[in-house]
Amino acid sequence: YPSLSGRTALVTGAAGGIGQAICQRLAGQGVTLYAGDLKQVSIPTLDGLISLELDVTSTEDWAAAAERIRADGRVLDILVNNAGIYAPASLENETGDGFRRLTDINQFGVFWGMKSAAPLMPEGGAIVNLSSIGGMVGYNGTFGYAASKWAVRGMTRSAARELAPRRIRVNSICPGVIDTPMFYENDPAQLATFRETVPLGNLGKPEDIANAVAFLASDEAGYITGTDLLVDGGMLA
Ligand code: NAD
């Protein structure tokens, strides 16, 4: 694996299934980690992670996170906007409150994240935003979620252009169905149905996404910006 030693990263939603795997992967490559989530983050197998109580919808929390990184005398090299919620509902059944909550966390969370972190990247850097296959095509029953994840891809492209002169690369990852609490807590039956639609024959693992994050964050992806990386076992092939 390429060395990311000496770099500093902030990962949101770090206590979740994919977030924990991203933290493990980056820490394994020598990255200093700020791990943000609604509650204190502790990953049993990982020492030295700096936990931040960071609600991605809160501008106060983002300001406090930036202040903490500055006070620690660090600049940021990597931001992973991973926090998100999945709350399935059709157009017919989606409520205004439900749609707003998805937008607030999945879309505004990424907006506030990029806006807060870019000033902390004076030496350039890499931003990776978690979109979804639901942000690439339409599905029945995930109306608000899909809207928020399409928005992530749009923001990724605009930010990539705007931040390119400062050598900050911005890309998104579009996971297929990954075996995390996000899915099986919602609907185990749906999970089994999804498995049948994966050409590679198995659901994704959080580590599959962490590998993609590590690549996009590394110098080996130095000429890649404004793109979306599908990690879906061929679901959209
Ligand atoms: P998860 O539910 O396991 O973890 C999500 C984490 O985000 C949780 O720890 C939760 O506390 C945190 N979070 C929720 N609201 C927050 C807020 N306002 N501020 C800060 N943190 C908050 O989900 P996951 O599967 O690990 O998903 C991670 C990302 O990957 C999400 O953006 C999700 O949309 C995306 N994704 C997941 C899948 C999948 O199949 N699991 C597929 C496509 C995309």
Residues 115-162: tens digit of each pLDDT? 999 999 999 999 999 999 999 999 999 999 999 999 999 999 999 999
Tokens 């639609």: give the residue. 197
DSSP string of 46-61, one letter each residue: --S-EEEE--TT-HHH
Domain layout of the chain by residue ranges: 8-175+205-229
Rounded to a whole number of angstroms, the distance between the first and last alpha carbons of the chain is 27
111 alpha carbon – ligand 1 mean position (Å):
16
Give the right CATH number for 8-175+205-229 from 3.30.465.10, 3.90.850.10, 3.40.50.720, 3.30.390.30: 3.40.50.720
41 Cβ closer than 6 Å to some ligand 1 atom: no
87 Cβ closer than 6 Å to some ligand 1 atom: no
* CA-proximal residue: ligand 1, atom 23 (nearest): 182
ipTM confidence: 0.99
What confidence score (pLDDT) does residue 183 get? 67
Q: pLDDT (tens digit, 0 to 9) for every residue of the chain, 237 residues total?
A: 667 999 999 999 999 999 999 999 999 999 999 999 999 999 988 999 999 999 999 999 999 999 999 999 999 999 999 999 999 999 999 999 999 999 999 999 999 999 999 999 999 999 999 999 999 999 999 999 999 999 999 999 999 999 999 999 999 999 999 988 776 666 777 778 888 999 999 999 999 999 999 999 999 999 999 999 999 999 999
The number of the ligand 1 atom at minimal distance from the alpha carbon of 15 is: 9
84 alpha carbon – ligand 1 mean position (Å):
4
pTM, 2 dp? 0.97
What confidence score (pLDDT) does residue 189 get? 79
CB under 8 Å to 179, separation ≥6 — which residues?
Answer: 17, 191, 203, 204, 205, 206
